[in-house]
Chains A and B, each alone.
Chain A
């Protein structure tokens, strides 16, 4: 964003940039920056809170009144991501012959479909569609069980895209099942990686891929860098 701000401003457009990482704004010096210490992925701070979002916009646009720059100001509110996993039960085991994550994903399908019907769009689909999620989890389970990763038939051929699809399938379904549908930052991520069989499997397959000698880009970006 900071590079684009420089480019746009040089093209006679006035810019205001929200930054999430203050050090980047400090060093890149775009014309006008409002640094917002909010959960990453939420540059306007709070979902479903128009009043707060308007406050961010008002503070950002006020920087347009400055006569010279660069200028970097901080939004006065810091919002720390809520790290309490989303309150959302996962489906009970239904078919004991299936890997737990596969059984779980099948159980979430109706909730995922409700989410898709409500929003009309889904983040699932870069490597697999919703129909392909259970099979994808089966493939990941096979890798954890020892199948060489190059022989496993990873759907879509890209582990990062696949992991993102699986996570999106779960997180979108979870928002239909929870009694707290406006969670704080990281609550859905924490639920996925800490409460679901699929999330635990993604972390396990990341370790298995590394142990099998797969190049770091194959496994590292399957989950946030701070998860192990």
Chain B
């Protein structure tokens, strides 16, 4: 009997077939040397501070997360991934301890004072992300002097 595909394989097959927004061009920004760069994390894990505002089911907004804040709730609504991993070790989604170590090692210049979380929601034309919350988040990152954004899904 053929082996049953894993849950992850089924999700990947399903999501991989769905329509995605396509971009006619890919912008390209040359970063400074990594050892001089300020790095921020942006994740779609729907993280928010313990006493902060949670994400609604169709939320396209984002939350700013202080670098020092580690007591975060993962408020993503999807049941289709390992929801326990973040609670076991936040670095597997949101690798701030690893980035701090890279600063100590001189691999990266510095870590941003704020990071950002979205909830992975987007209407088919991704208009809100493209023209509203995405640019607003970019402006906050630039105001903090960020050079490099490391993006993680769940």
Q: Which residues of A contact B (CB under 8 A)?
A: 1-24, 27-31, 39-48, 50, 53-54, 57-58, 60-61, 64, 68-70, 80-81, 83, 115, 119-123, 125-126, 158, 160-161, 163-164, 167-168, 171-172, 175, 181-183, 185-186, 188-189, 221-227
Given the known A-B contacts A40-B11, A123-B83, A183-B84, are A12 and B29 also in contact in the complex, defined by CB atoms under 8 Å?
yes
* Closest-CB distance, B125 to chain A (whole angstroms): 10
Return A186 CB to nearest CB of chain B, in Å.
Answer: 6
CB-based contact B89/A47 at 8 Å: yes
Alpha-carbon distance A14/B126, docked complex (angstroms): 21
Residues of B within 8 A of A30 (CB): 26
Q: Which residues of A contact B122 (CB under 8 A)?
A: 3
Complex contacts, A223 vs chain B, CB 8 Å? 79
**How many residues of chain B are within 8 Å of chain A by beta carbon?**
78
Q: Which residues of B contact A182 (CB under 8 A)?
A: 88-89
Known: A19-B153, A57-B99, A61-B108. 18 other contacts (CB 8 A): A9-B26, A9-B27, A9-B28, A14-B149, A23-B12, A24-B20, A31-B28, A40-B82, A41-B154, A53-B95, A69-B28, A120-B50, A121-B50, A121-B72, A123-B83, A123-B87, A181-B88, A188-B84
* A-contact 0/1 string along B27-61, CB 8 Å cutoff: 11111001001000010100000100010010000
* Bound CA span A95–B124, Å: 49
What are 9 contact pairs spanning A and B, CB under 8 A? A3-B122, A4-B42, A23-B12, A28-B23, A42-B93, A57-B150, A61-B107, A221-B78, A226-B10
Residues of A within 8 A of B79 (CB): 160, 163-164, 167, 221-225
Q: Considering the chains assembled together, what is the distance between the CA atoms of A147 and B16 in angstroms?
A: 38
Is the pair A123, B77 in contact by a Cβ cutoff of 8 Å? no
Docked Cα-Cα span, A65 to B115, in Å, equals 23
Q: How long is the Cα–Cα vector from A225 to B72 in the complex, in angstroms?
A: 26
Provide the residues of chain A in CB contact with B126, threshold 8 Å.
Answer: 3
B30: nearest chain-A partner, CB-CB: A14
Report the minimal beta-carbon distance from A161 to chain B, rounded to whole angstroms.
7
What number of residue pairs across chains A and B have CB atoms under 8 A from each other? 267
Which residues in window 112-154 of B have CB below 8 A to A? 118, 120, 122, 126, 129-130, 134-135, 137-139, 141-142, 146-154
B6, B23, B30, B84: residue with the most chain A Cβ atoms closer than 10 Å: B84
Most central of B22, B91, B126 by chain A CB within 10 Å: B91
CA distance A80 to B80 in the complex (A): 15
Bound-complex Cα distance A38 to B29 (A): 28
A7 x B22 contact (CB < 8 A): no
Closest B residue, CB atoms, query A79: B8
Q: How far is the CA of A122 from the CA of B16 in the complex (A)?
A: 31
Most buried by A among B10, B92, B93, B129: B92
Find chain B residues with CB under 8 A from A27 CB. Answer: 20, 22
User: Which single member of B7, B139, B142, B153 contacts A1 (CB below 8 Å)?
Assistant: B153
